[in-house]
Structure 1
């Protein structure tokens, strides 16, 4: 396997134009286990840890390696390597860390396309699709909506669900597959190109592991059924891991996510709800909240039926979450700056003694 088979492309050539010194190799993180990693290089796979300096200089979890990252590492022996540097990412999918205000969790890095997976029998929820789309758009990752378990509903019901999605979400491909009959897999495989990196996003129990097994043509992931008592998905995938398909495509499987907190400080939300944003450009007031103002073009379009009411409500909800996250990040940075000043003053004071 060469670097191109691992997904190495012109972007990496540009950021790595100075080359790697003789003591280091370039590799890609293919699995993560709570700050321990598996890195794949041209010469093989190695268990790896990060250097103490990389850990010390990290300002948050976002600075640590993630599955999909390209790294510089030193191989010490066949069973151990040290990661010295994470190369710049061209994309990173992240969400707000659970129960950690102002912190983010990196889901995967250097992704080209994200398959947003939903089961049509129990998991189907367009509001949730819009959450995942916001994650993708803020990360500059192309989304594809993938509906699974289509054999569990009548064909006319599936057609209705696809139409329902397309009425609210424009310009995002929608594919449908059956893990039981494998119907739709030919079209899905056509979407997967050699050397490109894809990831699977979705709740537990929507069929991501089964999907990966079918795409690979072999059983590489354990699968479970839906819990009979809660009707919720069981966590089959326990960690993030990268897999290489026979056609040259690269797929990252992720544990199911029950919480998809918005960590968007860019324009991801605006891209997801571009129809609402386009109306907002003509509001009477620049700081219009689109809730009660006179002359609000969004409310006028809502009243006329030009904007879907559920999409509007979800937009406001995600907009509040984004504002809260941004304020939390700003407050966190303010406290860090204040702490930095205290440390600087402390060092200056004791240097005089």
Structure 2
């Protein structure tokens, strides 16, 4: 977790939490940044009454609350009132987690036990998540991958130049709806657009969502003040978008310095992917910003109702369909198909709706089958263990 000061972007002091030592060290801890002289509170890190009410009822002796501020290939970094330290998972947490999605991700609140005079920690429990951002794991898996947790606002970043992709934008918007996160669309690289092109891009976005949209240019600074106004103290925001759309450049502009590496844009004006891990950055305004690597694949999760919620105008049209269970594919009296024929609804948007709906339904069915198989396998293991004891 990083924060801007007048001199640099730093970390938080580390405090001693006892001399507990782990017995199951796994991957090496994340290297923490240099310290700075400022005391934080859990409230500064986003701990509010909701988390206080959902804290684990019991916890191991000597544990305290902390927030996950970085995850990198199985290693973790935690932030608390007075420090930022590398951490690893307890053996019990690893054993009891049936899915990777149950393990901590950036933004999670956890209970942790500190050792080595407070220079490292063991994560024992993960709080319930108020909100989340997730996708289907890359490849053909039906598993889910957590992107971030307990996010208030998701900034969906779209390049206004060659990489502008309305279908991909709809997928990101579906991700935010699935996790109950407020979306704000950031249209970047507007300095590379003519006024006519900019208006066209904004018109397309407005046809897809009622979410607030900000047009930005990291070169001219256009829109950055409006973005800063959104970054209220205690709020957790997350940057979502493909590689090269300018997420890390936005972070650097908000910090006021080149705190994180970027690479020179290509001849086409598109950026090059540089962010390699998810990390929570504490801004000078008191807001927290999670930067994420670009996603090449964006398989959707959730269920059909979430897809419907993301396509509001289709839901309104569907209410006028002849059949209540209309699939909007072949049924007579379908108001959605009629709207397409009249030109009131774009064929491409309808096609994307069907694709997302099909993906969501497939995942819902496949994940249910997977849970049944995992449950059956778990029963088999317990039965074998019981037989061995007998």
TM-score (norm 2): 0.85
The answer to whether residue 65 in structure 2 is matched with residue 26 in structure 1 is: yes
Distance in 2, matches of 1:22 and 1:351, equals 31
Deviates more, 1:16-25 or 1:160-169: 16-25
RMSD: 1.9
The answer to whether residue 107 in structure 2 is matched with residue 64 in structure 1 is: no
Determine helix, strand or coil for the equivalent of 1:132. Answer: helix
Determine helix, strand or coil for the equivalent of 2:359. Answer: helix
The answer to whether residue 366 in structure 2 is matched with residue 346 in structure 1 is: no
Alignment correspondent of 1:302: 340
Distance in 2, matches of 1:106 and 1:17, equals 21
Distance in 2, matches of 1:231 and 1:337, equals 50
Contact 2:262 2:272 (8 Å CA) reproduced: no
Contact 1:168 1:308 (8 Å CA) reproduced: no
Distance in 2, matches of 1:98 and 1:224, equals 25
Distance in 1, matches of 2:190 and 2:247, equals 14
Alignment correspondent of 1:15: 54
Alignment correspondent of 1:49: 88
Contact 1:139 1:268 (8 Å CA) reproduced: no
Contact 2:304 2:357 (8 Å CA) reproduced: no
Distance in 1, matches of 2:59 and 2:93, equals 18
Distance in 2, matches of 1:283 and 1:324, equals 24
Determine helix, strand or coil for the equivalent of 1:299. Answer: helix
CA 1:285–1:59: 2 relative to 1, 3 Å: same
The answer to whether residue 356 in structure 2 is matched with residue 318 in structure 1 is: yes
Distance in 1, matches of 2:379 and 2:309, equals 38
The answer to whether residue 5 in structure 2 is matched with residue 5 in structure 1 is: no
The answer to whether residue 155 in structure 2 is matched with residue 155 in structure 1 is: no
Distance in 2, matches of 1:95 and 1:239, equals 16
Distance in 1, matches of 2:113 and 2:150, equals 21
Contact 1:203 1:233 (8 Å CA) reproduced: no
User: How far apart are 1:267 and its partner, in Å?
Assistant: 3.5
Contact 2:304 2:360 (8 Å CA) reproduced: no
Distance in 2, matches of 1:227 and 1:16, equals 47
Contact 2:304 2:361 (8 Å CA) reproduced: no
User: How far apart are 1:179 and its partner, in Å?
Assistant: 0.5
CA 1:100–1:38: 2 relative to 1, 3 Å: farther
The answer to whether residue 298 in structure 2 is matched with residue 260 in structure 1 is: yes
Contact 1:240 1:252 (8 Å CA) reproduced: yes
Deviation readout 1:110-147 (Å, 9 max, x if unpaired):
00000000111122111111100000001000000001
Contact 1:31 1:240 (8 Å CA) reproduced: yes
User: How far apart are 1:10 and its partner, in Å?
Assistant: 1.8
Distance in 1, matches of 2:270 and 2:361, equals 30
Distance in 2, matches of 1:131 and 1:240, equals 20
Distance in 1, matches of 2:262 and 2:159, equals 15
Match of 1:124 among 164, 173, 177: 164
TM-score (norm 1): 0.94
Distance in 2, matches of 1:63 and 1:100, equals 20
Determine helix, strand or coil for the equivalent of 2:238. Answer: strand
Alignment correspondent of 1:290: 328
User: How far apart are 1:243 and its partner, in Å?
Assistant: 0.5
Determine helix, strand or coil for the equivalent of 1:108. Answer: strand
Alignment correspondent of 1:190: 229
Contact 1:37 1:48 (8 Å CA) reproduced: yes
Alignment correspondent of 2:12: none
Any stretches of 5+ residues in structure 1 without a counterpart?
none
CA 1:73–1:100: 2 relative to 1, 3 Å: farther
After TM superposition, the structure 1 = structure 2 runs for residues 92-241 of structure 1, keeping only pairs within 5 Å, are 92-169=132-209, 171-227=210-266, 233-241=271-279
Any stretches of 5+ residues in structure 2 without a counterpart?
1-39
Contact 2:69 2:78 (8 Å CA) reproduced: yes
Alignment correspondent of 1:243: 281
Determine helix, strand or coil for the equivalent of 2:219. Answer: coil
Deviates more, 1:177-186 or 1:5-14: 5-14
Contact 1:101 1:325 (8 Å CA) reproduced: no
CA 1:2–1:266: 2 relative to 1, 3 Å: farther
Count of residues in correspondence between the two structures? 350
